[in-house]
């Protein structure tokens, strides 16, 4: 298979509550999806650029669903980038950890029957996480960053990016807002997917422990 390549198609100004960004749309030679980069400031040739790899989540990003922490992670990342004055969100079109929206919603129904997010994916014939970060690495190369500070709680992203030739200088934690509806989801991330989250009830700030019964 040929090396995955990306092509920048357009860039336009996007004013948001967090600040003004440039939104870049990329095509690639691997799939028909339109992956995106939301960029603030001058990051070309810079070290330790604040970066978030964010996989599309319609329910969380658009609807504000409390079944996950995706939408909150996206806006927290945008806020941190705005405070730093520069950085990028790489927005990857790989819904539901890569299984697509249809099976993601089917997985939600299985979770309501008592299965966790990992077993729900497996029951539908998928891997626990089918995401690929090659497109993200190629976009970061196009943006010309020398090294990044990665906004993530998922150590697998760091490993994958390093394997793809992207130098990750440090990990920057994203603190989740915890609800009754997403606590088991977050707990599964910690226990079965090695995410670096502190869900000890003693350490959960009162402002985040909303309607949680632990």
Choose the catalytic residue: 52, 66, 131, 138. 131
Is-catalytic flag, 119? no
First and final C-alpha spacing in the chain: 48
Choose the catalytic residue: 129, 132, 163, 181. 129
Is-catalytic flag, 131? yes
| Other beta carbons within 10 Å of 112 | 10
Hey, which residues are catalytic here? Answer: 129, 131
């Amino acid at each position: 298979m040929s090396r995955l390549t990306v092509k920048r198609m357009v860039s336009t100004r996007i004013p948001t509550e967090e600040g003004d960004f440039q939104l870049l749309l990329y095509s690639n030679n691997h799939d028909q999806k339109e992956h995106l980069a939301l960029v603030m400031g001058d990051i070309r040739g810079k070290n330790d650029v604040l970066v978030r790899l964010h996989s599309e989540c319609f329910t969380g990003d658009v609807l504000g669903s409390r079944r996950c922490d995706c939408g909150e992670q996206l806006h927290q990342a945008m806020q941190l980038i705005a405070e730093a004055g520069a950085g990028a969100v790489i927005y990857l079109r790989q819904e539901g950890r890569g299984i697509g929206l249809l099976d993601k919603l089917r997985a939600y129904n299985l979770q309501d029957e008592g299965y966790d997010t990992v077993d729900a994916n497996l029951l539908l014939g998928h891997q626990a996480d089918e995401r690929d970060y090659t497109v993200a690495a190629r976009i970061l190369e196009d943006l010309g960053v020398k090294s990044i500070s990665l906004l993530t709680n998922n150590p697998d992203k760091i490993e994958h990016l390093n394997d793809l030739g992207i130098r990750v200088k440090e990990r920057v934690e994203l603190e989740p807002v915890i609800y009754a509806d997403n606590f088991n989801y977050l707990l599964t991330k910690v226990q079965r997917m090695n995410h670096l989250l502190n869900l000890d009830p003693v350490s959960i700030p009162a402002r985040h422990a909303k309607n949680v019964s632990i």
